[in-house]
Structure 1
Amino acid sequence: MCGRYVLEGPVSRLTAYFDARYTEDESQFKNSYNIAPTTKVPVVRINREGERVILNHIWGLIPHWAKDKTGSAKLNNARGETVHEKPSFRTAFKKFRCLIPASGYYEWQAPPEGSGSRKQPFYIYPNETSYFAMAGVCDHWIDKISGELVMSTAIITTEPCEKLKQVHDRMPVMISKEYWTEWLDPKNQDLNSLRQFVSSSDEVNFHAVGFGVSGTGKNRVDSEALTQPMDPKLSE
């Protein structure tokens, strides 16, 4: 799974890398080093005019048919093996795919059984490019009482590449730049073709980090220091 990730700007670097227009208030953008579910995050999509744009979505999918939006935190990830058939994700996978920019993400390595140690967090980041283009699905939910429109997203995950197996048993699906147009095209609804994109990538580096990233709520730290290497032996 992917439960926390990092996104660094500036906006100009985001728009240049993804060749997309930023539709939000640029003054509101800030570097984020501990992005958690239910946070508003930038995603890359094709709008109704066929233009590639970057706009904010809630991280945690709210299906259009949901009675309310309380379950979004539980739908922050979608398993790539079943995303095309699960009721919460299948329409989004077929019609509303996106790219979720990330400078890196965190994963937690389980300690040896019976060791009594805490899970060790790792920071995983691209080994050559500025950003990961994590595969995502989107949906739109409308509150029937207030009329509020909520756009939301989830990250598609898959089995890890060989080098990450020592860290965790899942990783986000990464879409290579040469396939962005095909992935984002809302007219492309061929499930067999789309499912071919659900695979792991070995274009990653990683290192152990401290336990600060594990905080939640008011205790959630947001600092670049969270991404800095740490010797696992010193973090026990």
Structure 2
Amino acid sequence: MCGRYVMARAVGDLVAELEAEADASLELRASWNVAPTTDVPIVLERLIDGAVHREVHVAKWGLVPGWAKDPAVGVRAFNARSETVAEKPTFRAAFKSKRCGVPVQGYYEWKKSPDGKTKQPYFVHSADGSLITFAGLYEWWKDPAKEDGAADQWLLSCTILTMASPPDGELATLHDRLPVPLSPAGLAEWLAPATKETGPLLEAALAEAWDLAAQWQLDPVSPAVGNVRNNGPELIEAVTL
């Protein structure tokens, strides 16, 4: 699964790495302890006058489907299982036409001690510090309590897809679920707004995921990351066990 991650890139750096564009007024809050229900950057593609535009937007982490009566639904929908994403009512519409990438600098996972009494957090990240982009979905939800045209009438939200962890290796010892990473080429395919055959698209993403994840580095970090109130670059500094 993925329930806590790091995104502290400046807008300009994020746009450059993703080869995207962003509104001049877009603001991102650097965070070394991103938690569900907070605002996060996503990257998506739209067809505008026949041309594809790759854009960075800010969305609430926890997908709220268009039919939801209350946005609180998103609290439980920050991850979507790849095995059931095509059938689950919360995700199936977004899977067909609203796919996005969720860029991260790394994510946290907790490993149980042999006696099961404590958990050690690890920061999972690319060895060279480059961005990892997870396969995600996004949705727009209209608040019926707001007047038409109100600035806050529409809520943009997102979720991160997960899959089974590799059967062996260090990642397998952390958790049985893995957020689905995308290569640059895989991201381009995943985002393509004209693609309607989502089954093969998902299969292609899953097929390369374990190889991409095998290149990640796992560093033990301070237990301080367990408290969402703690938020600073010291959280990703490796500690000696």
- Tell me which moved more, 186-195 or 97-106: 186-195
Please give the alpha-carbon distance, in whole angstroms, between the structure 1 residues aligned to 2:222 and 2:21.
Answer: 35
Q: Size of the alignment, in residue pairs?
A: 226
State the partner residue of 1:168: 175
Shift of the alpha carbon at 1:150? Answer: 0.4
State the partner residue of 1:46: 45
Alignment of 1:99-138 (within 5 A): 99-112=101-114, 115=115, 117-128=117-128, 130-138=130-138
Alignment of 1:1-236 (within 5 A): 1-23=1-23, 25-26=25-26, 28-49=27-48, 50-112=52-114, 115=115, 117-128=117-128, 130-147=130-147, 148-161=153-166, 162-163=168-169, 164-196=171-203, 197-198=205-206, 199-200=209-210, 201-216=213-228, 220-232=229-241
Matched letter for residue 168 of structure 1: H
Unpaired segments of 5 or more residues in structure 2?
148-152
Task: Report if the CA contact (8 A) 1:128-1:203 is conserved.
Answer: no
Shift of the alpha carbon at 1:42? Answer: 0.5
Query: Secondary structure of the residue that 1:70 maps to in structure 2?
Result: helix
Percent sequence identity is 35
Query: Secondary structure of the residue that 1:33 maps to in structure 2?
Result: strand
Please give the alpha-carbon distance, in whole angstroms, between the structure 2 residues aligned to 1:225 and 1:128.
Answer: 18
RMSD over aligned CA atoms reads 1.6
Shift of the alpha carbon at 1:192? Answer: 2.2
1:129–1:121 CA distance, 2 compared to 1 (3 A): closer
Please give the alpha-carbon distance, in whole angstroms, between the structure 2 residues aligned to 1:56 and 1:4.
Answer: 17
Task: Report if the CA contact (8 A) 2:37-2:61 is conserved.
Answer: yes
Please give the alpha-carbon distance, in whole angstroms, between the structure 2 residues aligned to 1:107 and 1:189.
Answer: 33
Shift of the alpha carbon at 1:80? Answer: 1.2
Query: Secondary structure of the residue that 1:82 maps to in structure 2?
Result: coil
Matched letter for residue 155 of structure 1: I
Shift of the alpha carbon at 1:48? Answer: 4.1
Task: Report if the CA contact (8 A) 1:24-1:56 is conserved.
Answer: no
Task: Report if the CA contact (8 A) 2:65-2:91 is conserved.
Answer: yes
Residues 32-52 of structure 1: CA distance to partner in whole angstroms, max 9, x if unpaired?
Answer: 100011111010011341210
Residues 126-174 of structure 1: CA distance to partner in whole angstroms, max 9, x if unpaired?
Answer: 1245100111001111011215100100000112233300111111100
Matched letter for residue 181 of structure 2: M
Please give the alpha-carbon distance, in whole angstroms, between the structure 2 residues aligned to 1:116 and 1:108.
Answer: 12
Please give the alpha-carbon distance, in whole angstroms, between the structure 2 residues aligned to 1:98 and 1:105.
Answer: 18
Please give the alpha-carbon distance, in whole angstroms, between the structure 1 residues aligned to 2:234 and 2:43.
Answer: 27
After TM superposition, the score normalised by the length of structure 2 is 0.88
Matched letter for residue 35 of structure 1: V
Matched letter for residue 12 of structure 2: S
Please give the alpha-carbon distance, in whole angstroms, between the structure 2 residues aligned to 1:18 and 1:138.
Answer: 17
Task: Report if the CA contact (8 A) 2:105-2:129 is conserved.
Answer: no
State the partner residue of 2:150: none
Task: Report if the CA contact (8 A) 1:42-1:56 is conserved.
Answer: yes
Shift of the alpha carbon at 1:73? Answer: 1.5
Shift of the alpha carbon at 1:111? Answer: 2.5
Shift of the alpha carbon at 1:31? Answer: 2.2
